[in-house]
Amino acid sequence: MSFCYVNDTTIDQASSSSSSSQHQYAHVMPESPLQHKLSSNNSTTSGHVSRASSDMTPNSQLEHEKRVRREIANSNERRRMQSINTGFQSLKILIPHSCGEKLSKACILQRAADHIKSLENEKLKLQSQNEQFRILIKSFQIDSTSVLQTQRRLSTN
């Protein structure tokens, strides 16, 4: 599996024309078959264009490059949206809701935030109870120690 950076510079290297509306992605993504196709079709060796792209007229080559770049962008956007939708499905599983209940993405986010707040409150409540139990245990330990000491004094007399 090969990797490539998907950003303005990678796409600009593949084509002489660039679009200022392209988004920059700072992460590394696996190279798609289309990206591999673009890089292999437009590769240059010592300044000579490969045979596949030299058979085309400059206009058809430019159109081909634009189409391939659009296909790459569409493929990247599909993967991004699939990743987002998978994240929403994972989040929906973790939040309390009725089985089969349809939830919008906004509702999933709101319920997730509410659930996190609820869990934080529950955690604080349990930490408080835990501290109260520690104090109670300490008092029992002190009481049991004093009872044992009293029993020893009484038994020695």
How open is the CA angle 49-55-60, to the nearest 5 degrees? Answer: 95
Residue with more model confidence, 155 or 104: 104
CA dihedral 84, 103, 116, 97 (to 10 degrees): -130
Mean pLDDT to the nearest integer, 58-75: 96
The pLDDT of residue 80 is above 80: yes
pTM of the model: 0.52
pLDDT tens column, 7-34: 333 333 333 333 333 444 444 445 555 5
Residue with more model confidence, 22 or 72: 72
pLDDT tens column, 89-114: 999 999 998 888 899 999 999 999 99
Lookup result for tokens 């993504």? 29
**Pick from 82, 85, 91, 98: nearest CA to 113:** 91
The pLDDT of residue 49 is above 60: no
**Pick from 24, 23, 32: nearest CA to 4:** 32
pLDDT tens column, 111-153: 999 999 999 999 999 999 999 999 999 888 887 888 778 888 8
pLDDT score recorded for residue 27: 44
**For the chain, what are the domain ranges?**
3-94, 105-157
Lookup result for tokens 């990797």? 3
